[in-house]
Amino acid sequence: MEILKAIVETILLFTFLAVVTAMLGVYLERKISGWIQSRLGPKHVGPQGLLQTIADTVKLLQKEHITPLNADVPTFNVAPILVAVAGLLAWMIIPFGPAFGRIIMVRDINIGLLFFLAMASLIVIGILLGGWASNNKYALLGGFRSASQMISYEIPLALALMVPIMMAGTLSTRAIVEAQGGSIRNWYIFGGPYEWYLAIPGVIAFAVFIIAATAETNRIPFDLPEAESELVAGYFSEYTGMRFALFQLGEYAEAFGMSALAAVLFLGGWHGPVLPGIVWFLIKMFALVFLLMWARWTYPRLRLDQLLNLSWKGLVPLGFLLVLVTGWMLV
C-alpha cells in the first residue's frame, strides 16, 4: 500500500542523492577545482579517478568515532542526522521530468516551495546544535557564525523565490514548471509568458537566488564558518569519520537542491528541444552546480561583516524592490 511505496521511494531518492550529490558532486568538485588551478584532480582510483569518492566513503566508514570530553552526547549524535535528513527532505518537491507517462517527483505538495524553505531553515538548527554540542570554543563560534549567515540569507532567498511564485500564481513546483512550457522565451528568467520587461526582475531574481543559495550552503565566497585558515573546520571541528560525512552529505544535498530548484523555477525545469525532459533538467542542474563550483575558486572569502552587510543592506532591500516591481509589472 501507500506506505510501502513511500518507503521504496525514499530509499531510491536517498540512493540517488548519495550517488549523485555526494559521490559525483564531491568528485566533480575536486576535478573542477583541479582544472581551475591548473592541476589534475583525482586520477588513480578507477578510470579517471571516478571511484575516488567510493574509496573515501569506505575509508570513512572504518574511522573511529571520537566523542570529545564533556560534549553533550545525544545532541552531538543528533545534529548530523538532522542536517542530512533535512537536506534529503528538501528534495521531495523537485520535479525531474516526464518519464513513464508521468512527471518524476516524489510528491507534488501543494505548498511545495514553502516546504523547501522550511527544510532549509531546519538545517540551521542542526548546524547550531552541532557547534554547541562539541564543547569547543571554535566549534561554537563557527556554529554561531554559520547560523547568523544562513538566517541572514534566508530572507533574500525567500524574496527571490517570490518572483516565480508571483508569475505563476502557485506554490507548487510542478505547476511552476508547467507554466514555463512552450519555448525558451517562456522561462521565468526571461520574463515568462508575459511582456519582455518582466525579464528584468526575472534575471535579477535569479542572480539574488544564486547568491543567497551560495550563502545558505556555506560555500565560498561565504564560507567563513568553515574557514580552514581561521576556525579549523568551524562547527564540525570535533566531528570525525562518518558523522562528518553526514554533515557534508547534508550540505551537498542542499547545494544540489538549490541548483535544482533554480533550474526548476527560473530555467524551465524539464522543458527543452529534442532531448528528453529529464536530461534537460539534469543538464541545467549540473550547469548551475558548475557555476557554484566555479565561483568558489574565483572569489575571495567575504568577511563576516561584509557578508552580513551584503545581505541586510543590499539583498534584502533589493529583494523587496524586486517583489514590488514584479507586482507592479504584472498587475
Partner 1 sequence: MRLDWLYVAVFAVVGTVMAALPLAIVWLLAPRVDLPQKRMTYESGVVPFGQAWAQFNIRYYLFALIFVLFEVEVIYLFPWAVIFRQLGAVAFVEAVLFIVILGVGLLYAWRKGALEWV
Partner 2 sequence: MGELAAFIILSALTLIPAVVVVTSGNVVRAAMSLIPSFLGVTGLFVLLGAEFVAGIQILIYAGAIAVLILFVIMLTEGGTGLAIRQLNEQRLPGIVVAGALTIGLVVLVLRTAWPLTAGTLPASNVTAIGTAFLTDFILAFEISSLVLLVSLVGALVIARKEV
The footprint of partner 1 on residues 33-92 (CB under 8 A) is 61-70, 77, 80-81, 84-85, 88-89, 92
Q: Does position 117 bind partner 2 by CB under 8 A?
A: yes
Find the angle CA(228)-CA(49)-CA(44) to the nearest 5 degrees.
Answer: 95
Out of 108, 186, 199, 295, name the contact with partner 1 by CB under 8 A: 108
What are the φ and ψ backbone dihedral angles of 97, each rounded to 5 degrees? Answer: 150, 170
Closest distance between partner 2 and the C-beta of residue 135, in Å? 8
Amino acid at 217: T
- As a whole number of angstroms, the distance between CA 277 and CA 178 comes to 12
Instruction: Give the helix/strand (H/E) hosting 164.
Output: helix 137-168
C-alpha cell at 99: 518519464
Per partner kind, with CB cut-offs from 5 to 8 A, the member of partner 2, partner 1, none near residue 72 is partner 2
3-state secondary structure of 37: coil
Give least dist CB 2 to partner 2, A: 10
Rounded CA-CA distance 271/274 in Å is 10
- Specify the 3-state DSSP secondary structure of 28: helix
Cell numbers given for 203? 534575471
85 is a contact residue toward partner 2 (CB under 8 A): no
| By CB under 8 A, residue 229 contacts partner 1 | no
Verify binding: residue 102, partner 1, rule CB under 8 A: no
At closest approach, how far in Å is the CB of 331 from partner 2?
Answer: 13
Rule CB under 8 A: choose which of 110, 183, 298, 306 binds partner 2.
Answer: 110
Contact partners, residue 182, CB within 8 Å, separation at least 6: 193, 271
What is the closest distance, in whole angstroms, from the C-beta atom of residue 137 to partner 2 in the complex? 12
Question: What separation in angstroms does the CA of 136 have from each of 83, 133, 218, 228?
Answer: 19, 8, 20, 16
Binding mask 133-172 for partner 2 (x = CB under 8 A): -------x---x--x---x--x----------------x-
Q: Taking CB within 5 to 8 Å according to partner kind, which of partner 1, partner 2, none is near residue 77?
A: partner 1
How many amino acids of this chain bind partner 2 (CB under 8 A)? 24
Establish if 203 lies at the interface with partner 2 (CB under 8 A).
no
- Indicate whether 213 belongs to the interface with partner 2 (CB under 8 A): no
Query: Do the Cβ atoms of 176 and 202 come closer than 8 Å?
Result: no
Cell 511505496, located at residue:
5
Q: From 33-41, 108-116, 283-291, 292-300, give the range in contact with partner 2 by CB under 8 A.
A: 108-116
Distance, CA of 105 to CA of 96 (rounded, Å) = 6
Site for partner 1 in 291-320 (CB under 8 A): 304-305, 308-309, 312-313, 316-317, 320
| Separation between Cα atoms, residue 233 and residue 224, nearest integer Å | 10
Which residues here bind partner 2, judged by CB under 8 A? Answer: 72, 75, 109-111, 114-115, 117-122, 124-125, 128-129, 132, 140, 144, 147, 151, 154, 171
